[in-house]
Structure 1
Amino acid sequence: MPHTEAVLDLSVIIVSFNTMGLLRNCLRSVLDSVKGISSEVFVVDNASHDGSPEMVKRDFPEVKLIENVTNTGFAKANNLALLEATGRYILLLNSDTVMPECPRQVIEYMDAKADIGLLGCRIVFGDGSLQYSAWRFPTLFQEWYYFSFDIIRIFIPAISRLKYRGIDYGHIADTDCVSGCCLFINGKLINLIGGFDEQFFMYYEDSEYCYRTMNNTNYRVVYFPYFQVIHYHGKSSNPQKATLRSFMAARYYFAKTKGERFSAVFVTACRMIWRFNLTILSIIQLFFRNIKVAGKIDMFRQLLSSVSLSSKEETENHETRADKFPASGCKYP
């Protein structure tokens, strides 16, 4: 695919899966906010069955809609739009967000600081509370703590804050990682490192992309608090499936950035704490019949079973599959 000159200031890419009401609100806010900026808006729909594609066609004919026949995941869906985007900068935006202000100041800031490859903004929840949208690169201990669930968290709650240590969310700062929920990308960066690794279905793809940026280029990753979006973060309808996907993504992240042995240590540590959780909860269930406890027992059993069954297959896939978004296919100067 030949290179073409970037002709717009901003390309906004929104990936959607069964979020029609939220997507409508998101698109309204985006189209209002980018007035006066040369821009284009993409929606990549991952085979929604709630009427989302039809709503986009009917209510937002100016939006460029890409319809997938299956749920391809977050990374691959974004890559499809990246191949068509013609903006100097690309904004990846979750469908469950609202963008109440114009991103012109971000574009001007990135123009003034040409060495910024990725820029994350201030993100708040619907109630106005801050969402941590910048963090340090994942470490084995911190991610093991995250996947330990209640048992360890009860006794050592302060560990959860280590990932965000030293980050002042009120000031511009260089950081390791920024959230893919609202992520500005310098189009020139994509020519250097390609798009997202499609091995990630969802989760950790933003951390890995930041890792690639920091380690393979001279571009910086920056947190910028003077542009804000509202994130109406929803819970997964299948928390067990979401947890497993998150774990497998973390496992692959470590395999890619630290090596297979490091990843194997992470997997072993998680299995150990899951078995410990399962043992404790099973003892509690003997004396106190509780639906919540029974649900957690079932979750740990499924996690242990699923991880064991998928270990060999996932390892083979990670070793043989390459990034499907080569830099030569990008359309940026």
Structure 2
Amino acid sequence: MKSVSIVTVNFNQPQVTEDLLKSLEVVNTYPDLEIIVVDNASKVNPVPNWQRTYKDIKFVRSEVNTGFAGGNNIGIREATGEYLFLINNDTEVTADLITRLVNTMEANPKIGLISPKIHYFDHPGMLQYTGYTPMNYYTARNACIGQFEEDKGQYDSLSGVTGYVHGAAMMVRRQALEKAGGMAENYFLYYEELDWCERIRKAGYEIHVDLSALIYHKESVSVGKRTALKEFFMNRNRILFIRKNAPGPTFFIFCCYFLATVVPRNLIHYIKNKEFSFIAVFIKAITWHFTNKADSDNLGFPLTR
């Protein structure tokens, strides 16, 4: 039986995280688990109470919000398992989820990263993820397969190699992690798991989805509220991902596409919807790349708790 380290990150959602811990205790049937919870600078530190309640779980507190990648990297550094399963705190597991993922990884040593099928928690039977299409590096566009569809097993034959894992639930082989390293923290939010897939592929491994394994995700089906922070990082990181992973000529063509198509489209959208404050945020997301290297740790956006 291979040891598995569960890593999850909490940020101002203690009850949601506790629901996940209960799911791992009550529902999960995989025996050899190490559970690590990273609190990413929540306003109220839940760790002391958790340490008194959950004696067998490792809790780590960061006094700085290090984002999705940084929080997971903190947990990764604490993990001892042969496989590491990074899951959002707003997920709940199914009984044989971890067993199925481990068995699939054991059967194919080429797999570096793998995700399960994901259903929306509030809409059981509705798909969120069954894999990703490859990235078009000229437009920085790809698609999530099956999202919002009723699960009738129509994609189950797609188990195997996929474009990218889903950041809500991804299991990594320790050997692949050691070769590729952790996630790039300068993304902070969005695109970091896609970049991680690219680096793990470059390290000689494959990216898979196992559609016999299922996890539930509490992310809303409705589109969440757009914020300045989200608008900044979605646009900055879209460019950053191509800048880091595409050849120079391809990046140049992407920049031409972005300036000719995305910039006017977004500006028209902001004006039409009277989202005038987003114009400066959007421009800042673009101009960040004129003053920062691709590996710069300058996030370019003021973060508040």
Pairwise same-fold verdict (TM > 0.5): yes
CA separation of 1:77 and 1:178: change in aligned 2, threshold 3 A: same
RMSD, aligned CA: 2.7
C-alpha distance in 1 between matches for 2:154 and 2:244:
29
2:267 match: 275
2:170 match: 183
C-alpha distance in 2 between matches for 1:141 and 1:320:
21
Q: TM-score, structure 1 length as denominator?
A: 0.76
C-alpha distance in 2 between matches for 1:320 and 1:29:
37
Greater helix content: 1
1:246 match: 234
Q: Secondary structure at the match of 2:72?
A: helix
CA separation of 1:67 and 1:236: change in aligned 2, threshold 3 A: farther
Sequence identity (%): 21
Q: TM-score, structure 2 length as denominator?
A: 0.82
Is 2:203 the partner of 1:220?
Answer: no
Post-superposition Cα deviations, 1:234-289, rounded to whole Å, max 9, x if no partner, equal 4756634223222222121111112453553354232211122245x2xxxxxxxx
Q: Secondary structure at the match of 2:82?
A: strand
CA separation of 1:272 and 1:210: change in aligned 2, threshold 3 A: same
State the one-letter code of the partner of 2:117.
R
C-alpha distance in 2 between matches for 1:320 and 1:210:
17
Selected match of 2:292 from 311, 314, 317: 317
Q: Secondary structure at the match of 1:297?
A: coil
Cα distance, 1:87 vs structure 2: 0.5
Q: Secondary structure at the match of 2:71?
A: helix
CA separation of 1:8 and 1:30: change in aligned 2, threshold 3 A: same
C-alpha distance in 2 between matches for 1:28 and 1:237:
29
* Structure label with greater radius of gyration: 1
CA separation of 1:309 and 1:245: change in aligned 2, threshold 3 A: closer
2:47 match: 53
Post-superposition Cα deviations, 1:139-175, rounded to whole Å, max 9, x if no partner, equal 357657xxxxxxxxxxxxxxx8x5549x963131211
Q: Secondary structure at the match of 1:319?
A: coil
More relative contact order, 1 or 2 (CA 8 Å, 6+ apart): 1
Segments of 5+ residues of structure 2 without an aligned counterpart are: 147-152, 298-305
CA separation of 1:180 and 1:139: change in aligned 2, threshold 3 A: same
What stretches of structure 1 move > 6 A for 4+ residues in a row?
Answer: none
Q: Size of the alignment, in residue pairs?
A: 281
State the one-letter code of the partner of 1:63.
I
2:191 match: 204
Contact 1:174 1:222 in 2 (8 A): yes
C-alpha distance in 2 between matches for 1:320 and 1:184:
25
Post-superposition Cα deviations, 1:100-125, rounded to whole Å, max 9, x if no partner, equal 21312221221121111111101000
State the one-letter code of the partner of 1:218.
G
Post-superposition Cα deviations, 1:55-101, rounded to whole Å, max 9, x if no partner, equal 42233232111111121101111111112211010000001000121
C-alpha distance in 1 between matches for 2:225 and 2:56:
31
Segments of 5+ residues of structure 1 without an aligned counterpart are: 1-6, 145-159, 282-295, 323-333
